[in-house]
Amino acid sequence: MKRGFSFSLPVTVVVSAIVFIYFCTVFIFIDRWFGLMTSPGIMNAVVFTGVAFMCVFNYGFAIFTDPGRVPSTFMPDIEDSKVPIHEIKRKGGDLRYCQKCSHFKPARAHHCRVCKRCVLRMDHHCIWINNCVGHANYKIFFIFVVYAVIACIYSLVLLVGSLTNDSQNDEQQSADSFRTAYVISGLLLVPLSVALSVLLGWHIYLILQNKTTIEYHEGVRAMWLAEKGGNVYNHPYDLGAYENLTMVLGPSIFCWLCPISRHIGNGLRFLTAYDGISAASTSK
């Protein structure tokens, strides 16, 4: 499902930064280091353009893909034995109900105050894509971050290499004319590379645990309460590292970095560790 377009200043800033970094990388860093008409220059320009294209492509998809809506007709089946206990509120034992949307919500769905609706498997609301990161666009958002990290580090290497080459050739007058572009690019690329790398590492951790950002913070509190009561808290959706990866990125490793999400299901029901236990006990 696609979303409508609305102006967003953070998105405009991101797009402007991407365009600026791309043109500086190709037409200044690569050109001044290798020369665009040489084989190394053409190869680096083509590879960087491919990475930048995938970055922009996934960024656009993350913006315009609806993260997942709770159907207005959704009603939990309390008589279904497959409905696990963790889909019930911890306080009071009631079914999960959104007072603001006035309808029931499935497990892992949360209400977004910015979007003013419930989002399936909500991770967080991201101002940089002017959209929630949820069930339908989480993989796309993650892939965007992967390509963004690669592009930033690649561009930073080309920037350093270009500067080193300039100093070796002692072309001071020529270097001065591009000094502003080098300074601005460095001020953008260094913090972006660090911030995006940290963000990527964080989401790799979440994927390996099959958690959302919201579930991580809820789990910290649940773990504290469990330890206080002498119990051990286990995240119900943790199926093991490889299974967790395939749940988000897909069953085929060749499609992990492609924006394909046919495997994700409807977002109303997710496999849990309890399902495996139930299946094992039934087969005995």
Q: Is the pLDDT of residue 225 over 80?
A: no
Q: Judging by beta carbons within 10 Å of its beta carbon (0-12, 13-18, 19+), is residue 237 exposed, middle or buried? A: buried
Q: Which of the following is catalytic: 98, 126, 255, 258?
A: 126
**174 residue type, one letter:** S
Answer yes or no: 126 catalytic. yes
Residue scoring higher pLDDT (135 or 254): 135
Question: What per-residue confidence (pLDDT) applies to 175?
Answer: 56
Q: Mind giving me the DSSP string for the chain? A: -BPPP---HHHHHHHHHHHHHHHHIIIIIIHHHT-TTSHHHHHHHHHHHHHHHHHHHHHHHHHHB---BPPTT----TT-TTS-GGGB-TTTTPBPEETTTTEE--TT-EEETTTTEEETT--EEETTTTEEE-TTTHHHHHHHHHHHHHHHHHHHHHHHHHHHHHHHHT-HHHHHHTHHHHHHHHHHHHHHHHHHHHHHHHHHHHHHHT--HHHHHHHHHHHHHHHHTT-----TT---HHHHHHHHH-S-GGGTTS---TTS--SS----HHHHHHHHHHH-
pLDDT, tens only, 61-75: 999 999 999 998 888
Distances (CA, A) of 199 to 44, 121, 149, 229: 26, 19, 9, 33
Residue 239: phi and psi, rounded to 5, are: -105, 5
CA angle 254, 57, 49 (to 5 degrees): 85
Q: Is the pLDDT of residue 2 over 70?
A: no
The arithmetic mean of pLDDT across residues 220-228, rounded, is 65
Question: What per-residue confidence (pLDDT) applies to 58?
Answer: 96
Measured distance CA(131)–CA(66) in Å, rounded: 8
Distances (CA, A) of 20 to 58, 118, 184, 185, 196: 18, 36, 9, 8, 18
**235 confidence band (pLDDT: 50, 70, 90):** confident
**172 confidence band (pLDDT: 50, 70, 90):** low
Question: What per-residue confidence (pLDDT) applies to 274?
Answer: 74
Mean model confidence pLDDT for the chain:
86
pLDDT, tens only, 194-222: 999 999 999 999 999 999 999 998 877 76
Question: What per-residue confidence (pLDDT) applies to 165?
Answer: 81
Question: What per-residue confidence (pLDDT) applies to 189?
Answer: 97
pLDDT, tens only, 15-69: 999 999 999 999 999 999 999 999 999 999 999 999 999 999 999 999 999 999 9
Question: What per-residue confidence (pLDDT) applies to 6?
Answer: 74
Which token pair is 226?
A: 């469990």
Q: Where exactly are the structural domains of the chain? A: 9-167+178-282
**86 confidence band (pLDDT: 50, 70, 90):** very low
Q: What percent of the chain has pLDDT over 90?
A: 58
